[in-house]
Amino acid sequence: MRGVIVLAMLLLAACDMLPRDPAGTSNRIAHKRTFTVALADPAIDAAPEVQRLVHEIERRTGAKAHWRSGAGEGLFQQLDDGTLDLVIGRFLAESPWAMDVAFGPPLSKTGTKAAPLELKAAMRNGENRWIMTVERASRAISQEAREE
């Protein structure tokens, strides 16, 4: 019986460490109090959902967004190497990048039924704690938009 209690306590203690960020994204953001963001399409800068998402992530993390410029595939390479934390853009619902990055839930949808575009955030694959933070912020923004 004592062994079961000890095992249960160890398992509970380990739960606090999940989800994990193998590359330490969330810890770095908490320590430096900043995260890096780029827009895949500069035209979406005016989209209110983009600004609300970034502000919601700032609120949830206590960190400030540091904006970077860039374009196209180079942004995804920067996500992969950890020099960018977030890329926001309009992506095909069935994006070819889905295997290389983690996409958050869509903030809004445009385009045609045959080729829908989703405004959403992309994050570095595997950084699960950071991904969860962005996903929760995205869902909160999406919910606000539906209620308006």
In a domain, 14, yes or no: no
Average pLDDT over residues 100-129: 91
109, 116 contact by CB (below 8 A): yes
Instruction: Say what the alpha-carbon torsion angle 27, 30, 31, 36 is, to the nearest 10 degrees.
Output: 90
Of 61, 79, 83, nearest in space to 134 by CA: 61
In a domain, 85, yes or no: yes
CB proximity list for 27: less than 8 A, separation 6 or greater:
21
> Which residue range forms the structural domain that includes residue 27?
23-147
Predicted TM-score (pTM) of the model is: 0.82
In a domain, 128, yes or no: yes
pLDDT band with cut points at 50, 70 and 90 for residue 145: low
In a domain, 132, yes or no: yes
The CATH code of the domain that includes 74 is 3.40.190.10
| Model confidence pLDDT, tens digit, residues 8-59 | 454 444 445 567 888 899 999 999 999 999 999 887 877 899 999 999 999 9
> How many domains are there within the chain?
1
Spatial distance between the Cα atoms of 34 and 126, rounded to a whole number of angstroms: 20
